[in-house]
Structure 1
């Protein structure tokens, strides 16, 4: 009986070792990484801190005001002349779409997945263009409107959108200057450190010989 038991134990040991070897060599290994912590899904979350900050609030206000301006201008059924209305319609529609896309990119951290694009410059250019064209479109519509309710509402929301875009433009330019100054300061400090190290090597050639 003892011999049979030893044979069974040896068989079980060989079977367990062979299963461990086959499991280690199998390409279908179970992963222990949680699904929620994978890099592909980690960035898909709403950044509440961005929405609570000044850039997020301004971006939401810009999108809402541009959309309301577009809705107001779309309710006008008759126009003469129509050039001012068509131009205001194009500006408000383009601003609401582009600003809304940028809001989603920053809010969901999707911009971090495309580092090839300088999103700060993109946002700065969009804010500057929307400020300029919204102001021009609002002035033209105010000069050519016929005192209809929808036209007056569109002009009011157009100027409000212009003001919000202008505030965002001011803050964006300020942050851009601060980032450039910090980057230039880091480059200058790195350059001075490299020059200091090279001077130390020139004044102490024994350090270079020891390194060699």
Structure 2
């Protein structure tokens, strides 16, 4: 007959054994989800993109748009103010949109959303920025009062227009190359489907 001390001893040994086996078990809970680690580890700056023509142009566009926006913001009095407000809106919008695209391309976030045609998105942004920067700079040139801030904004406006124009030209070439590469792939797929369908019909007739 076991005594109370013996039973307590066995219970203590059992609890210690379970604790040791639990500590040595490979199935330990973790406080950091594996998915979170993969997401955070996958965000890396693509230095190759920053060294490419498109990366350099994007950085220059963001800087020039920001400088042009700062210059137009320093104008305290204007008459008429429509051209100033238009230039302010264009420079701010170009800075934000181009900055977001630069951020997406640098971190390769566009690869996470493959169903969006990013080449066409970049082309539309650069073409629209070129057009609106040219129009806003032209309007500002017609109504400026030879003030230092207006002249500085005008200079940077035409500079960033030229940079956006070069980017638009390169984006059009890239988009055409991409469209040309996708067309043969689609035609090859159609031919393969037609050939496989013909083979299946021939086998059905032989059977």
Normalising by the smaller structure, the TM-score range is 0.7 to 0.9
Contact 1:43 1:110 in 2 (8 A): no
Pairwise CA distance, 1:59:
0.5
- SS at the partner of 2:76? coil
For residues 15-54 of structure 1, give each alpha carbon's deviation from its aligned partner in whole angstroms, at most 9, with x where no partner exists: 69x938x947x6x4469x9x8x943123311110000001
Pairwise CA distance, 1:121:
2.6
Give the match for residue 133 of structure 2: 134
Q: Cα RMSD (Å) of the superposition? A: 3.1
Answer with 177-186 or 106-115: which moved more: 106-115
Give the match for residue 21 of structure 2: 19
Give the match for residue 190 of structure 1: 189
Pairwise CA distance, 1:181:
1.3
Pairwise CA distance, 1:80:
1.4
Sort the Cα spacing of 1:117 and 1:202 in 2 relative to 1 into closer, same or farther, 3 A: closer
CA distance in 2, matches of 1:43, 1:127: 28
For residues 131-164 of structure 1, give each alpha carbon's deviation from its aligned partner in whole angstroms, at most 9, with x where no partner exists: 1110000000001101112111111110111111
- SS at the partner of 1:46? coil
CA distance in 1, matches of 2:189, 2:110: 29
- Unaligned 5+ runs, structure 2: 1-12
For residues 167-187 of structure 1, give each alpha carbon's deviation from its aligned partner in whole angstroms, at most 9, with x where no partner exists: 111111211111111111001
Give the match for residue 5 of structure 1: none
Pairwise CA distance, 1:111:
2.6
Does 2:96 correspond to 1:94? no
Sort the Cα spacing of 1:204 and 1:44 in 2 relative to 1 into closer, same or farther, 3 A: closer
Pairwise CA distance, 1:87:
0.7
Pairwise CA distance, 1:67:
0.5
CA distance in 2, matches of 1:73, 1:201: 69
Give the match for residue 178 of structure 1: 177
Q: Which contiguous aligned blocks of 4+ residues in structure 1 show a shift greater than 6 angstroms?
A: none
TM (norm. structure 1) is 0.77
Give the match for residue 165 of structure 2: 166
Give the match for residue 107 of structure 2: 108
CA distance in 1, matches of 2:185, 2:90: 40
Pairwise CA distance, 1:197:
3.2
Contact 2:119 2:174 in 1 (8 A): no
Contact 1:43 1:109 in 2 (8 A): no
Answer with 78-87 or 54-63: which moved more: 78-87
